Amino acid sequence: MKPVLEPVVLNGGHGEGGSALLRTALVMSAILHRPTRIHNIRGATRKRGLTPEDLSLVEALSTLCKAEVKGFDLGSEDLSFFPTRAPRATPLRLDVRSYVEGRVPGNSLIVLQSLVPVLSRSLSYSRVSVMGETHSNNTLCFDAFELGTLSAHKAQGIYAFPSLVTTGFGFGSHGEVAMEVEPSVLEPLGWSSRGEQVESGARLCATNMAPEALERASILIGQNLQENGLGDDVTIHEVHGKETGASVTFFAQFERGVGTGSAMMQRGMTINQTISRAWENFEKWYQTKATVDTFLADQILIPACLCESKSVFTIPEVTRRLTTMAWVIKQFLPIHITILGREGEPGTVTVEW
């Protein structure tokens, strides 16, 4: 009879004390088939307890791993997650609005990104779709996910293929993103320096915008790229959605690195302001020597830790979110995660067994 492992017990208010801690613990639990209990969920934030976004992830992981779950309630501050098997590919269709009535905030890309390393470890092709926000400011959007996150994952040996079914711009919007993930053999990242730049450009994602407005926006984005020596590759991605909206994403790919910067046109903003904000977000990474942007560092950390070879990448800023994620992973694995650099300053991340 297989021995029952003791659960990894975590204080959800440790370090950054927010959603990244919770998601990291659940993903590691699912992949490693190791139970976990998390108390004081989001204990360092103003909105404590499980959100609809969290519940979507828990539902997906519990289905993949046939987990026994306690505390699966909106606002719950304590959760027990006991997987009964390794992850198996199962078609998933999730909706962040299914847990509470009204206009519900919840980012579909955050849920999908959390599932990528889990689905890549299953032994067959996986399909999943998530309904929720697809583009919002200060969080992961579809275009940054496709152009940046999945490009980095490809270098890690993970192959995933997303499609934007319908757009959801802004707080509580209701778009849909579908994704297919291949079973993968993980590869290490040797990204201590960028090497040569191999590609750069921008994408304008829009719904219900007039053709002349799209053309003007495309010209402005192209001018921004040209003025900064990044060519003139601008893609217009028109997608159906319930509400009018637009988002701009700049990206650059190096031999050993990738980064993005995005902004969504919110109420009261012009397209010029949106382009400027997206460029500012992109420039925070591009003008440094870091091989990945600040947010991408979080997304590639778990696969780097699951690969049994040494990975190295550099970041423009050490965040408490990243150090908290590293702390959580080390509660599950006997692994060395070294983050050189002070919080708020550039750093180097090394992962080795």
85-131: pLDDT as tens digits:
999 999 999 999 999 888 888 999 999 999 999 999 998 999 999 99
Kindly report, residue by residue over 296-334, the tens digit of the pLDDT: 999 999 999 999 999 999 999 999 999 999 999 999 999
Show Cβ contacts of residue 16 under 8 Å, excluding neighbours closer than 6 positions: 44, 319, 320, 321, 323, 324
Look up the pTM and report it.
0.96
Is there a contact between 316 and 290 (Cβ–Cβ < 8 Å)? Answer: yes
Task: Tell me the percentage of the chain whose pLDDT exceeds 70.
Answer: 99
13-23 pLDDT, tens digit each: 999 999 999 99
Mean pLDDT of 138-163: 98
Q: Determine the 3-state secondary structure of 35 from DSSP.
A: coil
Which helix (H) or strand (E) segment holds residue 92: the answer is: strand 92-95
Amino acid at 29: S
Task: Say if residues 348 and 314 touch (Cβ distance below 8 Å).
Answer: yes
Nearest-CA neighbor of 187 among 146, 161, 158? 158
Asked if the model's pLDDT at residue 2 lies above 60, the reply is no
The position carrying tokens 């060395």 is 336
Residue 39, SS3 per DSSP: strand
Closest-CA residue to 131 (of 165, 94, 100): 94
Sheet with strand 78-82: strands edge to edge? 8-11, 36-39, 78-82, 68-70
Tokens of 288: 């440094």
Q: Residue holding tokens 């304590």?
A: 78
SS3 per-residue string spanning 56-82: HHHHHHHHHHCCEEECCCCCCCEEEEE
